Amino acid sequence: MAKHNYSMQDAHSLDVHGHDDHCGSCAGAETLSPAAPVDINLQAGQALTQWFIEEMDCPTEEQLIRKRFAHFQGVERLDFQLMQRLLTVQHEIGQEQAIEQAIVGLGFNPVRNSAQGSAAQVRAQAEPTGQGRWEIGRISAAVVLALVAELGSWIQTGHWLWLLLAMVAIALSGLQVYKKGWVAIKNRNLNINALMSIAVTGAVLIGEWPEAAMVMSLFALAEWIEARSLDRARDAVGQLLSIAPEQAFFWDDHRAQWQQVDTARIPAGSLIRVRPGDRIALDGYVEQGISEVNQAPITGESAPVAKRKGDFVYAGTINGMAELQVRTQGTAQESTLAQIARAVQQAQQASTPLERFVDRFARIYTPIVVLLAVGIAVLPPLFGWLGWFDALYKALVLLVIACPCALVISTPIAVVSGLAVSARHGVLIKGGAYLERLRHLTFLALDKTGTLTTGRPRLYKHAVADSGDSTQVLACAHDLAARSDHPSSQAIQQGLQQVVVAESGHAVRELIDFEALPGRGVQSSIDGVVYRLGQLLWAVGVDPSQADESALIPASLRPVYEAGLQAGASFVFLSADHELLAIFLLEDSLKPGVADTVRALRHEGLELAILSGDAPAAVHHIAAQLGITGVYGGLLPEQKLAFVERVLDMHSVGMVGDGINDAPALAKADVGFAMGSLGSDMAIETADVAIMNDDLRQIHWVVRLSHRLHRILVENISIALGIKAVFLFWAILGEATMWMAVFADVGASLLVVFNSLRLLRNK
């Protein structure tokens, strides 16, 4: 099992001396350490520091911080993860305190993230035990007092009592809003706190105390509900990391006994013990024991997988009914689980096209509405159409709904939910843009081995030409195959093990100038002769454009070759100095559910084709079982790439593969899918989507998820814009009140949050 490092291509960042190409909310995820943008290069004397800022959840707060640090000495770059409320700063060493004080000066309460702290842990530091209960108690009291004041104001008596209740309600719910609003106004930034402060102050000045109290208390309550709801989406990926146990039983060589220690302290190469029913703490290989492991948290597989000595196990998966001893492959931060969390975190920083559209729209929406409010407050009274108080009240209503927060969070929270639920199902997507792009696919190119078939071929027949010594030829084939990790080579090595090693006592030789050529085979010099094991034309050194394959087969091997053609076998050939010596017939089987998945993908409107480096006859044999007519066998990596390039002129193309020879085509396709656990590191790094359990059915599932995500994004944008438009119209007509405007603003935010969270329940 190869370890894979997932890397992203896009991050929402800002060079502090310039601007990024879009503005708005970006989604982050839980991390084990401060999240560094992938393209950042720390210079000598520079450092990265991350802060959790509870109050920073809207683009207006981001703009406020950007403006503050635009010319700040020693700060090179800012990276925002608004949904996680995390700010990462690239700065000169020693500037941490000055930066933190500057953030505090903006009215925020930053909490510095330690090297081991996740966003959830930092959030816990920012909100001590009991603070949440006090906050909701304070807000609830303010709402009750404001409601009593509003109802009491309809009674002709007790005016001063209702005024007093309204003042207390505003004080309980609005002091923090006023503080933040004042800081924003000083910095010439119209965020929601500034707009709300202006609106409530205006209502007080025109004598609408009860309504001002209702506006402020309802705003505080809705903000609290929205924050708790957003936390659910923020923590969705962080829950991945929480499934790994914090402690494990570790074999201490010095004390010669088992010790229970923190998982983070266990070095790579250690021996850990996993009791029945416990979660496995670290990635590694089983060294002792036989059990079944539930891998659903990583791969999404529903059935437990049998594990014995030499098998790989993931951190966070659940051991069955027998004890296992595992030799760890890496540290806690190097585990597949930690890499998944980092991959999804980075994926959430990449904006989708819809997000970028919404960000651009939001940048012009608030100034326009504020100017409209100013116009309504001034122009009608000047022309005698309205009294000053009536005009001012209408303008205040507009100010309440001028903030674009509902619109801005309408897309990233849905994308975060989609990426999180994908990761939980064993599908890693390297950005929201790819998740959204999946619904546009019209053509899907599929590799054969490891994608449609199990990728574990079996050697079922072999033959040696009359010109070769059988024992020596098979020994050479065995030694070449033993040096390669290609599935076909492994099948030959295992198939010849009994004949070459067990029966003749042959010892595997050291090979000189061994070389593996993707899409062709392996070669080496043995006793001064160059042996090649791989494709026929390459093995015999013939130009593919000038050869008839069947004519190259010696007469003594032709019966076996023709029988293999009839059976749809895959062929591997052995040659010595371009003379054909032996033929090996391999068979592979379809993965479970592949036929049903192919039919389902066709039902989604996708055209399918198989691209394979295997012999055309073997590829046609598999294609016939699946009813796929686009069949291309014997392809080299550059030929797969050329095919994808041609199809891109007519289709939106997805490419599915698992090997090095698939990497160029994976990179070129609109969306590249890598079969994760069997795939090579290069294929995983190149692809946009990694299927961790190698199950083709996951592709159909994630395509459907993409369609559902798009529907929810459209619904969210429609809700946010629709509610704003209706209340803008009502406000201009004078039919909307201020507390109704609060419902329009924060109510829209709550609706899009709840609608987006439906994706977390996707099955």
Here the tokens at position 214 are 């209702």
Print the SS3 string covering 486-502. Answer: CHHHHHHHHHHHHHHHH
Torsion (CA) 202, 203, 206, 207 in degrees, nearest 10:
-140
Burial (CB count within 10 angstroms: exposed 0-12, middle 13-18, buried 19+), residue 393: buried
In angstroms, rounded to a whole number, what is the distance separating the alpha carbons of residues 410 and 478? 59
Phi then psi for 711, rounded to 5 degrees? -60, -40
* Class of residue 527 by CB neighbours under 10 A (exposed 0-12, middle 13-18, buried 19+): exposed
Instruction: Count Cβ atoms below 10 Å from residue 724 Cβ, excluding itself.
Output: 21
Q: How far apart are the first and last CA of the chain?
A: 28
Phi/psi at 165 (nearest 5 deg)?
-60, -40
Distance CA 414, CA 524 (A): 53
Angle (deg, nearest 10), helices 209-242 and 336-348: 140
For helices 697-733 and 388-400, angle between their N-to-C axes, nearest 10 degrees: 170
Backbone dihedral angles phi then psi of residue 35, each to the nearest 5 degrees: -80, 115
- How many angstroms separate the CA atoms of 370 and 257, rounded? 70
> What residue has token string 């009240």?
393
- Distance CA(685)–CA(426), nearest Å, equals 16
Which residue reads 């709840």 in tokens?
Answer: 754
Helix (H, G, I), strand (E, B) or coil at 217: helix
Alpha helices per DSSP H over 320-352: 336-348
Pairing assessment for the beta strands 75-81 and 86-92 based on DSSP bridges: antiparallel
- Cα-based angle 153, 157, 160 (whole degrees, multiple of 5): 70
The rounded distance, in Å, linking the Cα atoms of 407 and 355 is: 10
For 12, how many CA atoms within 13 A lie in the half-sphere containing its CB?
Answer: 30
DSSP for 377-430? HHHHHHTTSS-HHHHHHHHHHHHHT---HHHHTTTHHHHHHHHHHHHHTTEEES
Residue from 279, 243, 283 nearest 266 by CA: 283
Where on the phi/psi map is residue 274: left (φ > 0), alpha (ψ -120 to 50), or beta? beta
At residue 10's C-alpha, the angle toward residues 5 and 15, to 5°, is 120
- Concerning whether 57 is annotated as a catalytic residue, the answer is no
* Active-site residue (options: 447, 479, 694, 745): 447
Tokens of 504: 């003749």
CA dihedral 114, 120, 125, 127 (to 10 degrees): 160
Round to whole Å and give the CA distance between 306 and 303: 10
CA dihedral 649, 653, 658, 660 (to 10 degrees): 20
Which neighbouring-strand residues pair with 313?
Answer: 284
**Which residues are the active-site residues?**
447
